[in-house]
Structure 1
Amino acid sequence: MSGPSSPDNPWPVRTVNTKIGDWIHKLGQVWVEGQITQLNRRPGTKTAFIVLRDPSVDMSITLTCKPQVLDRADIPLTEGSRVVVSGRPTFYAGRGTLSLAITDIRPVGIGELLARLERLRKLLAAEGLFDPALKRRLPFLPTRIGLITGRASAAERDVVSVSRDRWPAVRFDVRNTPVQGPTAVPAILRELESLDADESVDVIIIARGGGSTEDLLPFSDETLCRAVAACTTPVVSAIGHEPDIPLLDYVADRRAATPTDAAKIVVPDVLAEQALIAELRHRSAQALRNWVRRERHGLDSLRTRPVLADPLRMVEMRAEEIERHRHALRRDVTRLVDHEHRHLEHLSARLSTLGPAQTLARGYAVVQRVSGAMAAVQADPEVVTSVADMPIGSQLRIRVADGATHAAVMGVEKK
C-alpha cells in the first residue's frame, strides 16, 4: 500500500493512521506552555490525563503522563494553573487520536509571569502601541456604551448605576464574558470585535473588579492588547483597582482606576453640565450687555460731537471762508488787471512818442531808394542813410507824415 491512493486503489484506515502517526512522531520532543483546564488523575491508574489550553485562543491539546510526573511538580497543580511541559506528540492509530506524552511539567511562578509581562510590555511599547498620539478621543456624550464584564458582577453594577445616575438617558450594550481563566481572552475578543463593528456603539468599556495577579493575567494577553489597539471605537480599561495595572491599561485609549471611575470618565454629570450651561448663559448675557453698554456709550459720545450735533455748521463755516477767499481773489485779480492796463497804456504812450509816425510829424522824412523798373511794384525799398547810396539819377521814395512822393537825384552835396 505504498503507492498513491485513488478511487480504484484507496488506502485502508490502518494505512492512513500509520502514515499520520509516522509524520507526527517526526516532530520529536517539544516544550509547550498553556493553562490547565482539566486534570483527570484517578487513583490506581497508571496514566493521568490533562487538557492544556492556549490562554489567547480557543485551542487545546490533550496531555498524558504518569502520575509520578505530577508528583514531582514544585507546587500542587490545579485547574487554571499556568504550566510549561515537555513531551513528544503521540498519535494513537487504533483510536485516531492525538496527545502529548509529557515527561516533565513545570508550573509557571508569579515571578516568571511578571518577568514575561515586563518583556511583553517593552515589546509593545517599542512597537508604539502605547503612544499617546494613537489614543482616540472619547465622545462628549455617548448615546450607547458597550460594556464587557463578568455576569452579575459588581463592576457591571457600578458602571451601569453610576452612569445612569449621572445621565439617565444613556444606553448600554452589556456583553457578559468570563474575566479570568483560560476561556476569558477568546470570549472577550469575540465581544470586542462585535461591539467595534457596531456603528451605534460610541465607546467600549472593559471592566473587572480587583483580583490577584493570576486573575488579571487575561488582561495582559498580547492578542487582546493588539486587538484593543486595532479598534476603531474608543476603548476604556477599568480593570481592578488602583494598584492593578495590566497591559490593557497602557493600550486602551483611557485608563480608569476603578469601574466607577470609568463611568465618571465616559458619562458626563447632567447636573454639572446644566450648571455649566447656566453659568455660560449668564456669562454670555453679561458679556452681551457689556458690549451693548459700551457701544451705546460710543454712540452717545459721537452724537455729542459738534460735527454731529450741527452737521451744517462745518459747511457754513467753510462757505463763509470760501466767500472771503473769492472776494480776495476777485480783488487781487482786478488790481492786477488794472495795474497791467496802466502799464500797457504807459508803454503805448512811450511807443507813440518814440515811434516813426511822431518823428515824421515833427518834419522828418524817410528816404528810400527804388529801382526804376520796379518802382511801381517794389514793396520794400531800401532806406538811404548816406549820400553814397544816392548817385545822381537814382529813383527815390520820400515818405512824410501824411504820405509819400517819388523823386530823382539831381545832384549830391556832401557835408
Structure 2
Amino acid sequence: MSSKTTPESPLPIRTVLQMVGGWIGRLGTVWVEGEITDLSTRGGTVFLTLRDPVANVSARVTAPRGVYEATVPRPANGSRVVLHVKPDFWVNRGSFAFTALEMRPVGVGEMMVRLERLRQLLAAEGLFNADRKRRLPFLPGTIGLVCGRESAAERDVLENSRRRWPAVRFKVEEVAVQGPYAVAEVTEALRKLDADSSIDVIVVARGGGSLEDLLPFSDETLVRAVAACRTPVVSAIGHEQDSPLLDLVADVRASTPTDAAKKVVPDVGEQLTLVRQLRDRGRRVVSGWLDREMSWLTSVRSRPSLADPVRELERRAEQAEALRDRARRSLSSSLDRAEDDLTHLRARLIALSPAATLERGYAIVQHPSGDVVRLAKDVSPGTLLTIRLSDDRLTVRAEEPDEAENA
C-alpha cells in the first residue's frame, strides 16, 4: 500500500478501513483465553473486556446472551474463560472487537462446573431437602466443635458462646481444614462426635479463604457423612458470600463462626429479659382477670336478691298473700252471683211450674195414656180419667154431658 500512496495522492480513510476489515475478516475463528472484566448486559447482547492474565493487554468482546447463559456456571467479573471468537472490525467506527461463539470456564471455572454437577446429583438424592433438616436444641448440654488447630474460627465460636451462656460446654476436635488431609480428618471428627451421646449439636467451623481452600467442605464424602449424622450439624464455613456444599446439607447454615455461636447458644441476658417480660405479662393477665372477676362479684352482691335475701322472700310472701286474697274475693263474688242467679231461676221455675197452678185450685185431667185432656169432646163417655190435684190424684169415669146445662 505504501508504494501506491504519496502525500500528493493519499487514500481515503474509508478505503484504508475497508482494507483493514478485509484482512481481519480473513483471520477466521480462534480460541483465546483471558480474564473477564467490565461485564455488562444490554438487551440480547453481553459486553465484556477480556484481559490477558500476564500482560497489560485487553480486548473488547461481545457475545449473544444465549451463549453467555449457556455457560455453567455463568462467568462473572474475575472469571477465567476460554472463548471461541471471531474477530470483527467495524469500518464506520474504526473499532475492533471479538464476537464470542462459545464460552467455557477454565481453572476455577472448571471446579465450579464439577461442584455444580455434584450439587445437582446430591440434590436429586434429597440430601438438601428442608424436611430432613432437624431443629437445634434450645440449650445444648455439650457442643461438639470441629475446627482448625488454634484457629480464629475456634476462638470466635468459644468466646462468643461463653459470652452468651457462660456455663456452655464444648468438646473440640482440631483437624486440618484445608489440604489433602482435610476431608479425612473432618469426616473422622464428625463420626467421633456423632457417636458421643453427650453431644447435642456439632459445629463445623472455618474462617474465610479462597475457593480452593474451601474445596474440602464441598467434597462428596464429607457431605454424605454430614447427611448420615444423627446429631444436628451447623455449618460455619468462610464468610457470608462463601457457600460450600456443606452449607446445603447441614441442618443449619451460619454465615460465620461468630454467627454459629449465636445460632447454637441462647443469650442468657436475652432469655432473662424474656422471662421477666413473660412474668410481667402473666401478672398483668392474672391481675386483669382478678379485677374483672371482683367487679363482677361486687355487681352481683349489690343486687337486691343477694344484698337482702329475706326482704325478697317477704316481698314474695306479700305477693302470694295478695294473690290469695284476690282469689278469695274473686271466688266469693262469683259464688254470690251464682247464688243470686240460682235464686232468680228458682223463682221463675216456681212461677212457671204446673204445681203452682194446681195450688191455686186448678186440676189437670189426663187420659190413661198420660195425655192431657184439653177439650171435652176429646173424652168419650165411660172413659177413665186421672185428675191431678195439688196434693194427690183422683180417678173418675166420664159421663154424658147434661143437655140442660149445655143449654
TM bucket (normalised to shorter chain) is: 0.5 to 0.7
Superposed displacement of residue 266, structure 1: 0.4
Please state if 1:266 is matched with 2:255.
no
Tell me the residue number matched to 1:400.
389
Mapped to 1, the partners of 2:358 and 2:319 lie a distance apart of 58
Superposed displacement of residue 413, structure 1: 8.3
Mapped to 1, the partners of 2:401 and 2:142 lie a distance apart of 145
Mapped to 2, the partners of 1:304 and 1:343 lie a distance apart of 55
Superposed displacement of residue 386, structure 1: 4.5
Match of 1:288 among 282, 286, 289: 286
Number of aligned residue pairs: 299
The one-letter code of the counterpart of 1:331 is R
Superposed displacement of residue 361, structure 1: 1.0
> Structure 1's 166 and 116: CA in aligned 2 closer, same or farther, altered over 3 A?
same
- What aligned pairs does 1:43-192 form with structure 2 within 5 A after superposition? 109-192=107-190
Tell me the residue number matched to 1:357.
355
Q: Contact (CA 8 Å) 1:141, 1:268: kept in 2 or not?
A: yes
Superposed displacement of residue 388, structure 1: 5.7
Superposed displacement of residue 343, structure 1: 0.6
Tell me the residue number matched to 1:346.
344
- What aligned pairs does 1:209-288 form with structure 2 within 5 A after superposition? 209-288=207-286
Gaps of 5+ in 1: 1-107, 371-379
Tell me the residue number matched to 1:43.
none
Tell me the residue number matched to 1:195.
193
Deviations 1:362-386, CA, capped at 9 Å, x for gaps: 222222222xxxxxxxxx7444444
Superposed displacement of residue 215, structure 1: 1.5
The one-letter code of the counterpart of 1:132 is A
Mapped to 2, the partners of 1:389 and 1:230 lie a distance apart of 137
Mapped to 2, the partners of 1:206 and 1:279 lie a distance apart of 34
Tell me the residue number matched to 1:31.
none
- Over the aligned positions, Cα root-mean-square deviation in angstroms equals 2.7
The one-letter code of the counterpart of 1:236 is V
Q: What is the TM-score when the length of structure 2 is the normalising length?
A: 0.66
Tell me the residue number matched to 1:410.
399
Superposed displacement of residue 197, structure 1: 4.2
The one-letter code of the counterpart of 1:212 is S
The one-letter code of the counterpart of 2:380 is P
> Structure 1's 218 and 395: CA in aligned 2 closer, same or farther, altered over 3 A?
same
Mapped to 1, the partners of 2:137 and 2:267 lie a distance apart of 14
SS at match of 1:163: helix
Mapped to 2, the partners of 1:293 and 1:349 lie a distance apart of 79
Superposed displacement of residue 230, structure 1: 4.1
Superposed displacement of residue 123, structure 1: 4.0
Q: Contact (CA 8 Å) 1:166, 1:267: kept in 2 or not?
A: yes
Q: What is the TM-score when the length of structure 1 is the normalising length?
A: 0.65
Tell me the residue number matched to 2:26.
none
Superposed displacement of residue 126, structure 1: 4.8
SS at match of 2:178: coil
Superposed displacement of residue 275, structure 1: 2.6
The one-letter code of the counterpart of 2:355 is A
Q: Contact (CA 8 Å) 1:387, 1:412: kept in 2 or not?
A: no
Mapped to 1, the partners of 2:378 and 2:136 lie a distance apart of 127
Please, which moves more after superposition, 111-120 or 223-232? Answer: 223-232
- Percent identity between the aligned chains? 57
Higher relative contact order (Cα pairs below 8 Å, separated by 6+ residues): 1
The one-letter code of the counterpart of 2:262 is K
Superposed displacement of residue 218, structure 1: 1.5
Superposed displacement of residue 121, structure 1: 2.9
Mapped to 2, the partners of 1:225 and 1:388 lie a distance apart of 145
Q: Contact (CA 8 Å) 1:148, 1:206: kept in 2 or not?
A: yes
Q: Contact (CA 8 Å) 1:391, 1:412: kept in 2 or not?
A: no
- What aligned pairs does 1:25-36 form with structure 2 within 5 A after superposition? none
The one-letter code of the counterpart of 1:210 is G
Superposed displacement of residue 397, structure 1: 1.8
